[in-house]
């Protein structure tokens, strides 16, 4: 599991990825996901929020990314491509 988390890279490789990558990986590694599928889902969701926060000019800090206000802001304007049902399934909403 540790290797999978350490090697994770999003398929679309947003420009902000290099800035947020270490914090994303470290945060998910501390969560200890129980399956590789769960790890991937968590990495994907946190990457999306982290990239959004970076684009908004926020510092690289998972505590900020996971703050309820940031998640609410992300779901309102940064996650418009995910429908409500899909968002609940993936953990994005």
Q: Is the dihedral of CA 34, 46, 19, 27 positive or negative?
A: negative
CA–CA gap between residue 12 and residue 47 (Å, rounded): 11
CA–CA gap between residue 83 and residue 59 (Å, rounded): 27
Cβ-contact 7, 34 below 8 angstroms:
no
Per-residue confidence (pLDDT) for residue 93, from 0 to 100: 46
Per-residue confidence band for 89, with pLDDT thresholds at 50, 70 and 90: very low
Q: Is the pLDDT of residue 87 over 90?
A: no
Q: Is the pLDDT of residue 86 over 80?
A: no
pLDDT digits (tens, 9 = 90+) for 7-54: 999 988 899 999 999 999 999 999 888 898 899 999 999 999 999 999
pLDDT digits (tens, 9 = 90+) for 63-84: 999 999 999 999 999 887 765 5
């Amino acid at each position: 599991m540790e290797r999978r988390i350490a090697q994770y890279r999003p398929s679309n490789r947003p420009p902000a990825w290099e800035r947020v990558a270490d914090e994303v990986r470290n945060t998910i590694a501390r969560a200890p996901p129980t399956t590789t599928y769960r790890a991937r889902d968590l990495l994907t969701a946190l990457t999306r929020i982290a990239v959004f926060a970076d684009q908004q000019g926020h510092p690289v800090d998972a505590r900020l990314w996971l703050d309820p206000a940031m998640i609410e802001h992300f779901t309102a304007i940064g996650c418009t491509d995910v429908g409500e049902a899909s968002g609940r399934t993936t953990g994005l909403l």
